[in-house]
Amino acid sequence: MNRNGLYLANSAAMLIVSSVLMGAFIVQYGFNEEPCPLCLLQRMGMLGVIFGLSLNTWFGFRKEHFALVILAALISAIFSIRQILLHICPVPGEPTGYGTVVMGMHLYSWAVVIYGASMLGSVVFLFLFNEEKKNTKRTPLTVEKIIFYLVLLLAFANMIAAFFECHLGPCCENGPCT
């Protein structure tokens, strides 16, 4: 695969993870399901994955960028797995899952799949690219810039949504902790 193909694949990965975040917004506002604190942490983890990929867009492929993707995905996968484990053996009288089911799985279960794919994809990218010199700055293609700015808009939307849910304090199940 040529270098431009790898950059387009990198941008496609950013777009895929962004579409997952957009889907979370649709569930949040379309089905009126406020995200729990663990869900917000998982969203921030997806933004961390996207941030690592976006560094590739502007500064070229570097192993440090993929390390950031893998680290964000690994930490966020831990949050997702914790949430899965909380709902495997729920407190008596509580439901066995939280939120809407999408294609047979809850959103936090899908998050584990996304994080696993992010880690695996980063490893594949690491095998396919030759690291560029640290002092080089690349000029992204127009489509890469569009995807980057869409992701940036999505990050700000997440920040604003989290602010309105939690304000400046810790976030609890039903808004700010009291």
* pLDDT above 70: residue 57: yes
Helices (H) and strands (E) counted in the chain, each on its own, are 5, 4
Where do the domains of the chain lie, and which CATH numbers do they carry?
3-176 (1.20.1550.10)
- 3-state DSSP helix/strand/coil % of the chain, to nearest 5: 70, 5, 25
Please list, in sequence order, all residues whose beta carbon lies within 8 angstroms of the beta carbon of residue 61, skipping any fewer than 6 positions away.
Answer: 6, 10, 125, 129, 130, 131, 132
* Per-residue model confidence as pLDDT tens digits over 71-102: 999 999 999 999 888 888 766 776 667 777 78
- pLDDT at residue 132 in the model: 64
